[in-house]
Amino acid sequence: MAITPNDDPEDRRVAIAELILRLRRSGIMDKHVLGAIESVPRDVFVPPESQDHSYSERALAIDCGQTISAPVIVGMMTLALDLSDRDRVLEIGTGSGYQTAILARLCRWVYTIERFRTLVLAAESRFQTLRLANVTTLVDDGTKGWPEEAPFDKIIVTAAAEEVPEALLKQVRLGGIVVLPVGPQDGVQKLMRLTRTVDGFLEKSLADVRFVPLIPGKAAQL
């Protein structure tokens, strides 16, 4: 459906209602997760040229050659984190800030790291527009995690690594959860959920996905 939600609040309401229905059909039933997604207007995070597709079930291009994930993937990753309102969450790959905003609705605090300054600045202004006051951003290489703020209750990575970054595994508490895509840069990756136990990590593969790559190092220019 082609819509321009910025132009008409009623169009936006209908588009969000349809999105919630699609999420339910794909098995995302948790009322807190659905409520959070319902409360975050995706069009605010989508560039002007893609506004008509703000609520479509697809990933969309954003600045710096990156993408905003498709809604069902965002729903699936959010659900897999099993968030509580006491959780402190580390997110790697702020991108547009859409996933960040949904996390912020469900947990105590989100620490989010992005390697492109341009994207962080744009995301921060969206958080202000939506009055999200429980997000701290950082322009840096997220593969190192955020040792000063660790341990985290939950960690989410929204870019794909060939191997799980060791530093992140060290920064999640016992009983905590890490959700991330793992696999080759130019192929299908596995969305994984890792739960920290006394003996290591309990692994569960959730879905086949395609994410942009997790690239070590801060971006030079942007």
Residues annotated as part of the active site: 69
189 makes contact with ligand SAH (CB under 6 A):
no
Give the nearer residue to ligand SAH in terms of CB position, either 14 or 222: 222
3-state secondary structure string, the chain? CCCCHHHCHHHHHHHHHHHHHHHHHCCCCCHHHHHHHHHCCHHHHCCHHHHHHCCCCCCEECHHHCEECCHHHHHHHHHHCCCCCCCEEEEECCCCCHHHHHHHHHCCEEEEEECCHHHHHHHHHHHHHCCCCCEEEEECCHHHCCHHHCCEEEEEECCEECCCCHHHHHCEEEEEEEEEEECCCCCCEEEEEEEEECCEEEEEEEEEECCCECCCCCCCCC
Structure tokens, 43: 């069009």
In the complex, minimum distance from the CB of residue 197 to ligand SAH, in angstroms, rounded to a whole number: 27
- Angstrom distance (rounded) from CA 206 to CA 211: 14
In the complex, minimum distance from the CB of residue 161 to ligand SAH, in angstroms, rounded to a whole number: 9
In the complex, minimum distance from the CB of residue 83 to ligand SAH, in angstroms, rounded to a whole number: 15
- What is the contact mask toward ligand SAH in residues 18 to 57, using x (rule: CB under 6 A)? ----------------------------------------
Residue of 98, 109, 127, 146 interacting with ligand SAH (CB under 6 A): 98
- Scanning 9-17, 49-57, 92-100, 126-134 for contacts with ligand SAH by CB under 6 A, the matching segment is 92-100
- Scanning 34-42, 62-70, 129-137, 168-176 for contacts with ligand SAH by CB under 6 A, the matching segment is 62-70
Point out the residue whose Cβ comes nearest to ligand SAH: 95
In the complex, minimum distance from the CB of residue 174 to ligand SAH, in angstroms, rounded to a whole number: 25
Provide the 10 A C-beta neighbour count for residue 95: 26
Of residues 131-160, those binding ligand SAH (CB under 6 A): 141-143, 158-159
Binding residues vs ligand SAH (CB under 6 A): 66-69, 92-93, 95-96, 98-99, 113-116, 119, 141-143, 158-159, 212, 214-216
